[in-house]
Structure 1
Amino acid sequence: MRQPSLSYVQAWAMAEAHQAVGFQFTVSAEGIDFHLSREVLKHIYLSGVTSWRKRAIRFKNGILTGVYPASPSSWLVVVVAIMSTMYARIDPSMGMIDTIKATLPVSDYLTLQTKTLLSAMLFATGLWLSLIMILRYTLKLLLSYQGWIFEPHGKRSCSTRIWLMLVKMFSGRKPLLYSFQASLPRLPVPSVKDTIKRYLESVRPLLDDEQYNQMEIVANEFKKDLAPKLQKYLVLKSWWATNYVSDWWEEYIYLRGRSPIMVNSNFYVMDLLYITPTHRQTARAGNAVHAMLQYRRKLERGEHTPMQALGTVPMCSYQMERMFNTTRIPGIQTDIIQHLKDRKHLVVYHKGRFFRVWLYYGGRHLWPSELEAQFQRILDDPAEPRPGELKLAALTAGKRVPWAQARLKYFSQGPNKASLETIESAAFFLTLDDEAHGYDPEKLRSLDLYAKSLLHGKCYDRWFDKSFNLIAYENGKLGLNAEHSWADAPIVGHMWEYVLATDCFQLGYTGDGHCNGEVSKDLPPPLKLQWDIPAECQSVIETSYTLATEIAEDVDFHGCLFDEFGKGLIKKCRSSPDAFIQMALQLAHYRDKGEFCLTYEASMTRIFKEGRTETVRSCTGESTAFVRAMEDPLQSKAQRLALFCKAAEKHQHMYRLAMTGSGIDRHLFCLYIVSKYLGIDSPFLKQVLSEPWRLSTSQTPQQQLNLVDIQKFPKYVGAGGGFGPVADDGYGVSYIIVGENLITFHISSKFSSPETDSYRFGQNIRQAMLDIRALFAMKENGL
């Protein structure tokens, strides 16, 4: 093992010495002589002030959230109003104040007038709390209305406009992140009859007559015999639990999975597509980490503005709670999510070494320039990784059971335990990558290689169990790899939009690409984590690495930038951009494989408390009719356009049903879980849950359009993100609609499947988009 350079050892020694002299005492004949460092006492004081300030702000915001949509000052208004009526000899309590006064204990300190005032204040407080509950319940009733979702875009009915006015009226002013949580409605349980009907409708275009008749018989038998019993338990759960889906979804879809989460579950998010603010790796990482700390501080205090549809309808903020200081802990039967608070360090990986970096100094966040200096120290550190350390993170990329067993056996004591706890308790995980990636129009497949690096890297340079990994490349490009169980992609995307905008438009860089600001000379250097990994554990690491490498090498990825047209033109065609793209995907898939398949599109249910996602089954009878018409030379353009409009409208209706809790798949999934608890075997549910999604799609939404003016800064656009293929012989497609004239597709499949080719599918998507656009050419002059 190479020794660190003399300069590094000296710097370390100086920092250690500086801390050591903070407190000294000497025992002599004259007694005990204390020496206290004024500098250390100053930092202790500042840390304490920051801690108490944080507690005070949290307490204040907790009160504001607790009484929302009222305000603490409204209590004083109610008290003064009640007092005023009493002085006017009017009793608004109808005798309740006198009753309270009679129950107060007899005391020399409580005069008759004092009792009267105290009774009035107690009554006013009770009245105030009752008014808050009435306001909340009224707001919850208002938010239970979903008719606005089913109205055509831009054509709000009179009733919806009145409803929006009432929601605004009862929503109060300046809501905090969690202000609406108590007023959000619960996710409703659909009727079995409706779910079975919609399910049969969704599979009809995928089955021949004989197959469909058989499925109809099995479904009707389930609806008649087993479903009523299972439904009763599910309704009971919906009354008792906050959300009847989310906890089972998290546990059984994510945490109980024993296969590797790398590629199969984790997803990635890319940097700005065309812009790299600085090519200095450590500077870019410094700004990004500082922006994340700013975001975390606002998140911990609940100061972010809640997301609101139409600028009025609130969405659930529950998933944001576990963004930082969160790790998925492996278990033998099931994993658990460990979420901690107030962790003040970051773990950085570089060339096989793990370092702990403190994020606070003197009671404040490190400045971007100080973070840059710390990361540069790590790059300059010549120490070699210890035996087994280089590929240690491959344990998080392999199967869950071997990782859980190795964690119990080799990481439960000594330096391994301390180092692992440091990683798992860190705010998040940063990789200073030794490669350069990013989109380069002059390099073929640059976007493909960039995506693969973010998705799996070298299989040992990402800690896949962390809530998210920040990856900083040598050329200054950034990206995220996120674990999926704790939250869905829009939650991570919200934070990432904030980070990129803050990095570019608030923090900025010096003329030579460094972070702005000075660097404190007293910063303790990064601490290299220590490991003692035995040969047996190294063998387990190598086994996980081998499996992870096989998975990674099988990922066939293609990034497709579609810039012929975008949202602007699609809206001129009076079509939903999402429906337009979904119909293009159906057409592209049919041309690619010559058949239709079960298609998954993720939609959100965050208008309900603790809502996550629902499935939109994009392959419908209407979409298949449209696709066949496009491939039939005898069909006229007018006929094809009419079928497209019908299919797009059907898709929009399905999407709205999913958003409002009337989807198919989460209901059937929960009925299946109930059946397993009861030990009941259902051939219908078993068939439904085993059907493969050979086309899995998702749109990455742009949520905070106010952060960057794309009209003014057209190059400052994100590239979205993506995920691995869901089925061995299928495609995973993620897309982001950026501005008015760009749509980015992220396409994944497996090289091992002879039926798929990501590049070929990308070309089919491009042609399908253009062919659908051509249908509107005859109407263009009239637009």
Structure 2
Amino acid sequence: MEGISTLLSYILPGHSRSVTADYQFLQQSWLPTMHFQASLPRLPVPKLEDTCKKYLTTQKTILSPEEFQQTARNVDEFQLKEGPQLHQKLIEIDAENKHTSYISEPWFDMYLSDRRPLPINFNPYMIFYQEKNAAYNSPLVKATNIVISSARFLRALRAGLLEPQIFHMNKKKSDTKLFRVVTRILPSRIATYGAYLFKAFPLDMSQFENLFGTTRIPEIGKDRITKDPNARHVLVMRRGYFYTFDILNEDGSIRSPHEIASCINSILNDPREPNLCPIGILTTTERNQWAQNRRHLVDIGNADVFRKIDTATFLLILDDDLVSEDFPVLVRHFLHSDGCNRWFDKSFSLIITGKGWSGINFEHSWGDGVAVLRFCQDMKIDVSMRPHFHPEEQAHLPSSSPDVEKLDFKIDDVVMESVNRALKEYKHWTLERLTTKHLLHNIFNKKQCKNAGVSPDAIMQLSFQLALYKLEKRAVATYESCSTSAFKHGRTETVRSFTEQTKALCKAIVERGTSNVNNKEYKKMMIECSKTHAMLTKEAAMGQGFDRHLFMLKRIWQKYYDGEPPAIFKDPAFTKLNENILSTSTLNASVVMGGGFGPVVEHGYGIGYMIDDTDLSIRLAVASYKHNRDASEYIASLISAFEDIERILLSE
């Protein structure tokens, strides 16, 4: 490692702290970043009979006996008639595209073709922990260090010095020098299989190239993604205005902390009042409408402004006017805000408030949580452990910097009218329709779950189901996201966490209540719930779920065949299963205090959750549309469910 650092210090020009290899790269991995990419296994296509069987097993939990009988007949017919033909076509398509996975391009298309607005519907958010030293939470200090650490991550990624993403079954045995030496010797085409011998599993890193310099561009019918792999500038928004400055020099090296801080300080000192025509609000609108408005903006002379926005490495949002530290306020702010100081099309936006609260809001079509969480984890730890700009240095900054470029949109009456309409509609959407609730609950923890022989994630999913069962006495379609990044160009698979075992336990608790006698029986049932959940999670992670397979078979029918679609896809039960009333995702990063997303259907809940090892607490955020579902009522029921489950966990 020292040899790499020494070599790079000779290659890089100059000798100041700003251009040493130690400053330039967040990591200097012995293993090249993409070392395992060529040998990653391909995402398997499940067997048709397995998919149909798993589909029916899941449907049985949410359908009436009469509905299930009809669905079973449709599935039987599908297996005899259209199913084998569609499955064979998928096998052929997969064989013709060995460079990727069968789900990759269609999944991109699914996102890019959806015409719904990005905020709430798609863009998730995460809020980071504050720095322990309050002086480092100053907006200027925090923003400068976040930009520097992000640039250090970017440079390590571009140079191939970022540590490859690897899941270690036992870090003591595989996260070692021996592992790195052995796997580095192996050619890339077989390196992954060498890692398997250590029970270490390299993950797909193809999405990482979309982190920086990427923007989703609105188009009529289907959006597109644009990338600039050589981008050097950052986009900054404050009070609805746009600014840009270079964070990298012409030779690709990171500019000094003083230079970056000077640019940010210059923007923070801009005395302009909030923009009366905040163009960013247009990114909150329906995609075809936004495409039309963007085309008009280009036509009246804003092509160069868009070029700067689209090609920026990332977006830094300075919300220094927000000084509230009330967490419910922060949740709404990082999820959607008022839309005036946002550009939801950027690959990701780093947000800093007036009290130094920081977090991320990211566009979802280009990639999933694996890449974003890795970036957030590495970047935020670097900010906390190795800050490169310090509070006492603020006094030595100029009040303005000639390196900052202001990007001013040319507007006309058409633009002004569109902006005013978007402001009104977004306010109605976020303030009058949407409700968000955050819960921090010190109750059971990971250790208690493991001592009881159950998976913490399975218990969280059971809690979500029990809370809804207490309210409605029924099962609903439930989505838990599971990454398939162990495979080349894998995306996600669905864990259908409401099972027959879960349903039986929820029904028993609601109808019979908890007691010393009942809890012994419930604990055995809980263990069975956990075993089933673990099996479903493993199947999903190994590409053996059923949702993506059926998604592809339906898509193939729509693309290649005419006439009436198969009965399985016309079945109301198929629609019902894909209207996920409970949409859930866990956030597994030590730097994240909380996070979440909006409901995916009008009558659903969006639930982001985590069990924190540090303070033994459960953290979660719930979002719903208040005229359809009540997030407050659900949170109250969830607390009751947690208390029931704790009693069962602690029973002898």
TM-score by length of 2: 0.85
State the match for 1:424 in structure 2.
Answer: 310
Cα deviation, 1:429-465, whole Å, max 9, x if unaligned, reads: 1111144367x5xxxxx22221111111111211000
State the match for 1:581 in structure 2.
Answer: 460
State the match for 2:230 in structure 1.
Answer: 342
Cα deviation, 1:663-699, whole Å, max 9, x if unaligned, reads: 0110000001100012341231244256411001111
Structure 1 position 630 matched with structure 2 position 630: no
Task: Describe the shift of the 1:362–1:400 C-alpha distance in structure 2 as closer, same or farther (beyond 3 A).
Answer: closer
State the match for 1:29 in structure 2.
Answer: none
State the match for 1:713 in structure 2.
Answer: none
State the match for 1:529 in structure 2.
Answer: 407
Q: Cα offset for 1:319?
A: 1.0
Task: Describe the shift of the 1:543–1:659 C-alpha distance in structure 2 as closer, same or farther (beyond 3 A).
Answer: same
Q: Cα offset for 1:778?
A: 3.1
Given the alignment, which residue of 363, 375, 397 partners 1:483? 363
SS in structure 1 of the partner of residue 335 of structure 2: helix
What is the CA–CA distance in structure 2 between the aligned matches of 1:384 and 1:628, rounded to whole Å?
57
Pairing 1:369-768 to 2, within 5 Å after superposition: 369-383=258-272, 390-412=277-299, 414=301, 416-436=302-322, 446-507=326-387, 510=390, 513-514=391-392, 524-553=402-431, 554-633=433-512, 636-680=518-562, 681-687=565-571, 688-689=574-575, 691-702=578-589, 717-739=591-613, 741-753=616-628, 756-768=629-641
Q: Which amino acid aligns with 1:262?
A: P
SS in structure 2 of the partner of residue 470 of structure 1: strand
Structure 1 position 256 matched with structure 2 position 99: no
CA contact (8 A) 2:443 2:617 kept: yes
Matched pairs, number: 591
RMSD: 2.7
What is the CA–CA distance in structure 2 between the aligned matches of 1:425 and 1:514, rounded to whole Å?
33
SS in structure 2 of the partner of residue 316 of structure 1: coil
SS in structure 2 of the partner of residue 487 of structure 1: coil
What is the CA–CA distance in structure 2 between the aligned matches of 1:595 and 1:502, rounded to whole Å?
46
Q: Which amino acid aligns with 1:267?
A: P
Cα deviation, 1:6-28, whole Å, max 9, x if unaligned, reads: xxxxxxxxxxxxxxxxxxxxxxx
CA contact (8 A) 2:130 2:137 kept: no
SS in structure 2 of the partner of residue 528 of structure 1: strand
Task: Describe the shift of the 1:369–1:752 C-alpha distance in structure 2 as closer, same or farther (beyond 3 A).
Answer: farther
Q: Cα offset for 1:349?
A: 1.3
Q: Bigger radius of gyration, 1 or 2? A: 1
- Structure 1 unaligned segments of length 5 or more: list them: 1-44, 62-172, 441-445, 706-716
Structure 1 position 295 matched with structure 2 position 173: no
State the match for 1:776 in structure 2.
Answer: 649
State the match for 1:323 in structure 2.
Answer: 211
Over the matched positions of the two proteins, sequence identity in percent amounts to: 29
CA contact (8 A) 1:437 1:449 kept: no
Larger relative contact order (CA 8 Å, sep ≥ 6):
2
Q: Cα offset for 1:318?
A: 1.0
Structure 1 position 187 matched with structure 2 position 43: yes
Q: Which amino acid aligns with 1:734?
A: G
Q: Which amino acid aligns with 2:113?
A: R
Q: Which amino acid aligns with 1:243?
A: S
Q: Cα offset for 1:641?
A: 1.2
State the match for 1:176 in structure 2.
Answer: 32
SS in structure 1 of the partner of residue 349 of structure 2: strand
CA contact (8 A) 1:234 1:670 kept: yes
CA contact (8 A) 1:668 1:685 kept: no
What is the CA–CA distance in structure 2 between the aligned matches of 1:491 and 1:188, rounded to whole Å?
22
What is the CA–CA distance in structure 2 between the aligned matches of 1:317 and 1:594, rounded to whole Å?
43
Q: Which amino acid aligns with 1:264?
A: N
Q: Cα offset for 1:517?
A: 11
CA contact (8 A) 1:46 1:362 kept: no
Cα deviation, 1:138-182, whole Å, max 9, x if unaligned, reads: xxxxxxxxxxxxxxxxxxxxxxxxxxxxxxxxxxx9432211111
- Structure 2 unaligned segments of length 5 or more: list them: 1-11, 172-199
What is the CA–CA distance in structure 2 between the aligned matches of 1:656 and 1:739, rounded to whole Å?
23
Given the alignment, which residue of 266, 271, 294 partners 2:123? 266
CA contact (8 A) 2:241 2:408 kept: no
CA contact (8 A) 1:283 1:514 kept: no
SS in structure 2 of the partner of residue 558 of structure 1: strand
Q: Which amino acid aligns with 1:743?
A: I
What is the CA–CA distance in structure 2 between the aligned matches of 1:698 and 1:372, rounded to whole Å?
36
Cα deviation, 1:702-743, whole Å, max 9, x if unaligned, reads: 3xx7xxxxxxxxxxx521311001121111111122215122
State the match for 1:234 in structure 2.
Answer: 90
Q: Cα offset for 1:283?
A: 1.4
State the match for 2:244 in structure 1.
Answer: 356
